[in-house]
Amino acid sequence: MLFTDPDETVLREEIRELKRTRKAVILAHLYQRPSVHYVADFTGDSLELSRRAVEAKADVIVFCGVRFMAETASILNSDKIVLLPEPSAGCDMAAMATAEQVRRKRAELPEDTAVVSYVNSTAEVKAESDICCTSANAVKVVQSLSQEHVLFVPDRNLGSYVAEQTDKDVILWDGHCYVHDPNISADAIRELKRRHPNAAVMIHPECNAAVRRLGDFIGSTSQMLDYASRSSKRAFIVGTEESMLHPLQEQNPHKMFLSSGSVCSSMRVTTLGSVRCALDRMVNVVSVPADIRERAAGAVSAMMAV
């Protein structure tokens, strides 16, 4: 049974009423707080939420995640208002690549090089890309390309995982997610395996290769949910952001999930109060300039078509 304090109950009711009057839909990433999940219309990983944003029959999209996610929703929905409840919710990895840096790097590479940008990138970087990808479809996206050479931006770890799964020449950008690398280490996973030898190990591909080699399964957050539900195992070591334990436990109440304790501070800043404030005052609007949006939309749409 879920127990909430009176203040949270009031906030939920106010958010529900504001959603109705604003004709809004709330999307929440799987790394968000449980309290935010409970007011969301849809939860999921980046790919699922990108699709939900397109399908949303709403005037307002409230994106409970980080800025690049809200930008992607705006790119795909130029006719809708997109709100990011906490404007400080950024992504350190997305900041590790700029449009100018990508242009300079591309100029150094063979002409037939395709630029693939992980959705965890800025709108400006997406606008410099041929196609985007998420952790759920990165391998499929790269395999779909006719080009032999691929510049993969900005996550070196997801890029190296893709390189292991394809015969493409994958050129890695030197970016990373601190939540997955270095905060999730091979030593930490080995210690969890020592303490729980019968547990299956699920690893996010943003982890480095040494950590990935310890995994029984490598996949995105939504793929982890599916794997845990289908598996006959009763215990799982979860190699991704700690908040992922909540949706896993909700979907699999009779199984046990163990985390190395890595936390994304940006994902934790969104609260019920900030969701209510954004909807009530219609503040923290995220929009992408038309010229950037049009070019970025081509890369995002290409991903959606794969």
What is the per-residue pLDDT across 202-258, written as a single tens digit (0 to 9) for each? 999 999 999 999 999 999 999 999 999 999 999 999 999 999 999 999 999 999 999
Asked which of 10-24, 35-49, 145-159 is least confident by mean pLDDT, the reply is 35-49
Assess if CATH 3.40.190.10 describes domain 186-263. no
Assess if CATH 3.40.50.10800 describes domain 94-176. yes
Q: Report the predicted TM-score, pTM, of the whole model to 2 decimal places.
A: 0.93
Closest CA to 97 of 127, 72, 64: 127
Closest CA to 84 of 222, 277, 246, 241: 277
**Whole-number percent of the chain with pLDDT over 70:** 98
For 6-90+267-281, CATH number?
3.40.50.10800
pLDDT at 132 over 50: yes
**How do residues 42-72 score in pLDDT, each as one tens digit?**
999 887 887 888 888 899 999 999 999 999 9
pLDDT at site 143: 98
**How do residues 277-294 score in pLDDT, each as one tens digit?**
999 999 999 999 999 999
The larger pLDDT score, comparing residue 6 to residue 45, is at 45
pLDDT at site 3: 42
Rounded Cα–Cα distance for residues 201 and 235 (Å): 9
Rounded Cα–Cα distance for residues 175 and 265 (Å): 18
For residue 131, what pLDDT band results from cuts at 50, 70 and 90? very high
Are 246 and 29 in contact by the 8 Å Cβ rule? The answer is no
Same CATH topology for 6-90+267-281 and 186-263: the answer is yes
Mean pLDDT of 76-100: 96
Closest CA to 78 of 294, 280, 264: 294
pLDDT at site 54: 85
**How do residues 103-121 score in pLDDT, each as one tens digit?**
999 999 999 999 999 999 9
Residues 6+ apart with CB under 8 A from 141: 116, 131, 132, 133, 303, 306
The torsion angles phi and psi of 64, rounded to 5 degrees, stand at -90, 95
What are the residue boundaries of the structural domains of the chain, listed by start? 6-90+267-281, 94-176, 186-263
Are 136 and 222 in contact by the 8 Å Cβ rule? The answer is yes
**Whole-number percent of the chain with pLDDT over 90:** 92
Q: Mean pLDDT over all residues of the chain?
A: 95
pLDDT at site 6: 57
pLDDT at site 5: 54
